[in-house]
Amino acid sequence: MNESVGLAGALITGVVLGTMFFGGLWWTVRQGVSAERPALWFLGSLLLRTGIVLAGFYVVAAGHWERLLLSLLGFVIAHVIVTRFTGPPVEHHEPQANEVGHAP
Protein backbone atom coordinates (compact mmCIF):
# COMPACT_ATOMS: atom_id res chain seq x y z
CA MET A 1 0.00 0.00 0.00
CA ASN A 2 2.71 2.43 1.00
CA GLU A 3 4.76 1.69 -2.14
CA SER A 4 1.78 2.21 -4.44
CA VAL A 5 1.18 5.62 -2.87
CA GLY A 6 4.81 6.52 -3.56
CA LEU A 7 4.50 5.37 -7.17
CA ALA A 8 1.28 7.32 -7.68
CA GLY A 9 2.95 10.36 -6.15
CA ALA A 10 5.86 9.97 -8.59
CA LEU A 11 3.45 9.90 -11.53
CA ILE A 12 1.57 12.97 -10.30
CA THR A 13 4.83 14.81 -9.63
CA GLY A 14 5.98 13.98 -13.17
CA VAL A 15 2.78 15.49 -14.54
CA VAL A 16 3.29 18.63 -12.44
CA LEU A 17 6.94 18.94 -13.51
CA GLY A 18 6.00 18.43 -17.15
CA THR A 19 3.22 20.98 -16.93
CA MET A 20 5.64 23.50 -15.45
CA PHE A 21 8.27 22.74 -18.09
CA PHE A 22 6.08 22.83 -21.18
CA GLY A 23 3.80 25.55 -19.86
CA GLY A 24 6.89 27.61 -19.12
CA LEU A 25 8.15 26.95 -22.63
CA TRP A 26 4.85 28.12 -24.10
CA TRP A 27 4.93 31.26 -21.97
CA THR A 28 8.57 31.92 -22.87
CA VAL A 29 7.87 31.69 -26.58
CA ARG A 30 4.94 34.09 -26.27
CA GLN A 31 7.03 36.60 -24.30
CA GLY A 32 10.32 36.05 -26.10
CA VAL A 33 9.18 36.79 -29.62
CA SER A 34 8.36 40.39 -28.70
CA ALA A 35 11.18 40.91 -26.20
CA GLU A 36 14.05 43.29 -26.74
CA ARG A 37 16.55 40.50 -25.99
CA PRO A 38 14.89 37.22 -26.93
CA ALA A 39 18.05 35.14 -26.60
CA LEU A 40 18.27 36.09 -22.93
CA TRP A 41 14.63 35.04 -22.40
CA PHE A 42 15.08 31.70 -24.10
CA LEU A 43 18.42 30.84 -22.48
CA GLY A 44 17.30 31.90 -19.02
CA SER A 45 14.04 30.00 -19.34
CA LEU A 46 15.80 26.88 -20.60
CA LEU A 47 18.25 26.86 -17.70
CA LEU A 48 15.56 27.54 -15.10
CA ARG A 49 13.06 25.00 -16.46
CA THR A 50 15.70 22.28 -16.93
CA GLY A 51 17.17 22.85 -13.48
CA ILE A 52 13.78 22.62 -11.79
CA VAL A 53 12.81 19.45 -13.68
CA LEU A 54 16.12 17.68 -13.09
CA ALA A 55 16.07 18.54 -9.39
CA GLY A 56 12.47 17.34 -9.19
CA PHE A 57 13.31 14.03 -10.87
CA TYR A 58 16.26 13.55 -8.52
CA VAL A 59 14.14 14.15 -5.43
CA VAL A 60 11.21 12.05 -6.63
CA ALA A 61 13.34 9.09 -7.72
CA ALA A 62 15.20 8.87 -4.40
CA GLY A 63 17.30 6.03 -5.81
CA HIS A 64 14.35 3.99 -7.13
CA TRP A 65 14.23 3.44 -10.87
CA GLU A 66 10.50 2.69 -10.74
CA ARG A 67 9.71 6.14 -9.39
CA LEU A 68 11.96 7.77 -11.97
CA LEU A 69 10.25 5.83 -14.77
CA LEU A 70 6.77 6.83 -13.57
CA SER A 71 7.75 10.48 -13.18
CA LEU A 72 9.11 10.42 -16.74
CA LEU A 73 5.82 8.89 -17.90
CA GLY A 74 3.97 11.71 -16.12
CA PHE A 75 6.27 14.21 -17.84
CA VAL A 76 5.32 12.81 -21.27
CA ILE A 77 1.63 12.82 -20.33
CA ALA A 78 1.97 16.48 -19.38
CA HIS A 79 3.51 17.20 -22.78
CA VAL A 80 0.41 15.80 -24.47
CA ILE A 81 -1.93 17.71 -22.15
CA VAL A 82 -0.15 21.07 -22.52
CA THR A 83 0.05 20.65 -26.29
CA ARG A 84 -3.69 20.03 -26.46
CA PHE A 85 -4.57 23.02 -24.26
CA THR A 86 -2.25 25.49 -25.94
CA GLY A 87 -3.57 24.56 -29.35
CA PRO A 88 -1.91 23.45 -32.52
CA PRO A 89 0.84 25.55 -34.01
CA VAL A 90 -0.40 28.23 -36.33
CA GLU A 91 0.75 27.68 -39.86
CA HIS A 92 1.56 30.75 -41.87
CA HIS A 93 1.25 30.07 -45.55
CA GLU A 94 2.96 32.52 -47.80
CA PRO A 95 1.12 33.05 -51.04
CA GLN A 96 3.17 31.34 -53.68
CA ALA A 97 3.69 32.92 -57.02
CA ASN A 98 2.14 31.07 -59.89
CA GLU A 99 4.68 29.16 -61.86
CA VAL A 100 5.40 30.50 -65.23
CA GLY A 101 4.78 27.95 -67.93
CA HIS A 102 7.66 26.83 -70.05
CA ALA A 103 7.83 27.85 -73.65
CA PRO A 104 6.81 25.07 -76.04
**pLDDT one-digit tens code per residue, 44-100:** 999 999 999 999 999 999 888 999 999 999 999 999 999 998 876 666 666 665 666
Residue type, 49: R
Residues contacting 11, CB < 8 A, separation 6+: 70, 71, 73, 74
- pTM of model > 0.75: yes
**By the 8 A CB rule, do 60 and 10 touch?**
yes
